Amino acid sequence: MAQAKEMPMAGDDAQAAMGGLVGLLTASCRHIALLAAMVATCGSLFFSDMLGWLPCQLCWYQRILMYPLTVILAVGILRRDRGLHWYALPLSLMGMGVSTFHYLEVMKIIEPSPCSGVVPCSIDYLTPILTGPLGFIKIPFLALVAFTIISIMLGNFVVAGDEALPADGRAQAAARWWALGIVAATVLAFLGLAALL
């Protein structure tokens, strides 16, 4: 008696697709963290060097925590460092704390702290540009989003373990090219934007 073939269920296809998406996200988590760090770093330099927006004291603290992340993440990806989270996660978590505090100041939820710099920490350069429903977007909010993305992706890297590091040579080479591509594309995008101004 011939056995009937089991037909794949629609739910199985959706589950397989979701598994593939999760696998892709897991393999890309370090690269997504690097992209967030690169965009935040180039964005802050664009604000200060191209638009002339002077950073306040808390902005400098956030830069001190963000700028090394670009180098640490890029080198960690290129070296396939399994301990990457030990170096990068403390910086991103501290950055989340400083950004949250600064954002609460800019939104006037807490009293502004006395800044020792030229620019007060409660200054908001984006208010004339982003109003209405987008009025909640401030520069410390952008930094908070970047630090949060980096922290979540590094947390995913820790939980995923070996699944986050491709084993075969072609996948390793692709990961290295992705890292270099992210750095180059981000820098070129901001240089192109600067050339337009």
Q: Position 145: which residue type?
A: V
Rg (CA), the chain: 21
Sign of CA dihedral 87, 88, 93, 98: positive
Rounded distance, CA 20 to CA 115, Å? 48
Question: What are the residues whose beta carbons fall under 8 Å from the beta carbon of 193, sequence distance 6 or more?
Answer: 46, 50
Q: How confident is the model at residue 13, as a pLDDT?
A: 63
In the chain, the number of structural domains is: 1
pTM of structure: 0.77
| 9, part of any domain | no
Helix (H, G, I), strand (E, B) or coil at 67: helix
Whether residue 191 is contained in a domain is answered as: yes
What is the C-alpha separation between 30 and 125, in angstroms, rounded?
A: 31
Query: Does residue 152 lie within any of the structural domains?
Result: yes
Residue 6 falls inside a structural domain: no
Confirm if 143 and 95 have CB atoms less than 8 A apart. yes
115 pLDDT above the threshold of 80: no
Examine residue 174 and state whether it is found in any structural domain, yes or no.
Answer: yes
Q: Note whether residue 148 is domain-resident.
A: yes
Expressed as residue numbers, the domain containing 83 is: 29-196
Whole-number pLDDT of residue 167: 60
Residue 15 maps to a domain: no
pLDDT for 140 equals: 92
Residue 21 lies in a domain: no
